[in-house]
Amino acid sequence: MKKLAFIIVDRMVHRKSLWALTIVTITLYCTYSLSAIAKDNHANQSLNSRQSNSQKPALAEEQSPAHKYFTDVELINQNGQKMRFYTDLLKGKVVIINSFFATCQGTCLPMNRNLEKVQQALADRLGKDLYIISISVDPTVDTPPRLKEYAKKLSARDGWYYLTGEKRNVEFALTKLGQFVSEKQDHLNIFIIGNERTGLWKKAFGLAPSDQLVKVVESVLNDRPSGDK
């Protein structure tokens, strides 16, 4: 059987507050189905309408298109700290994002072990210009103390956030990322690697060889704004 995986490159261009996506596929060494990453637009609109006004910050100045899209819905990290989705987690950063749940007996731990290897390879960048964001798809069970214990298994360092929160808030954030699932067992086995500052976003198979994942992350880290190229 020929082994293939896909990395999808999304270049987001801000035009009149719309995101234009260009998709390019390149091969890796594992299998992955493109259908698994299709977004549920209907669910996205539904959750968006349920977000309360209290979740939206007062506008001191005009928000960027990315800020408007992701919003500052509130999540909670493994240390019990509240974090705003866009402002605290995404703004100006390079991020690796995955979804998982702590009691998973399937692919969650292997994927997070891969992230642990990426963390080791890029230790000098983590917590500075690179951050890892792991969002639980089971926020009712995955409380901050449970996530803190889980983070210890992976030797998570500063800059690797395990996130939970109110169920509707977590579902809203996951939907914005195209990672919302109705059943936790159906969580996606992909990493989203993005450079919010330049608008370059990639998706990679979470069980691909870690050295290949490191190369993808480095390519996003090294991306420069169009004016600098």
CATH number of the domain at 93, please. 3.40.30.10
How confident is the model at residue 13, as a pLDDT?
35
Does 179 fall in a domain?
Answer: yes
Confidence (pLDDT) at 10: 46
Residue 19 lies in a domain: yes
Q: Report pLDDT for 61.
A: 63
Q: Name the band, by pLDDT with cuts 50, 70 and 90, for residue 45.
A: very low
Give the global pTM: 0.75
Rounded to whole angstroms, how far apart are CA atoms 95 and 216? Answer: 12
Would you say residue 76 lies in a domain? yes
The per-residue pLDDT for range 76-118, each reduced to its tens digit, is 999 999 999 999 999 999 999 999 999 999 999 999 999 999 9
Residue 72 covered by a domain: yes
User: How many structural domains is the chain composed of?
Assistant: 1
Does 75 fall in a domain?
A: yes
* pLDDT for residue 122: 97
- Domain of residue 215: give its range: 6-50+64-228
Average pLDDT over residues 19-37: 33
Q: What confidence score (pLDDT) does residue 145 get?
A: 98
Task: Flag whether 57 is in a domain.
Answer: no
Q: Going along the chain, which residue ranges are E strands?
A: 6-11, 13-15, 18-20, 23-27, 74-77, 82-84, 94-100, 130-136, 160-164, 190-195, 200-205
**Within 10 Å of residue 181's Cβ, how many Cβ atoms?**
17
What is the helix, strand, coil percentage profile of the chain, to 5? Answer: 35, 25, 40
Residue 144 resides in a domain: yes
56 found inside a domain: no
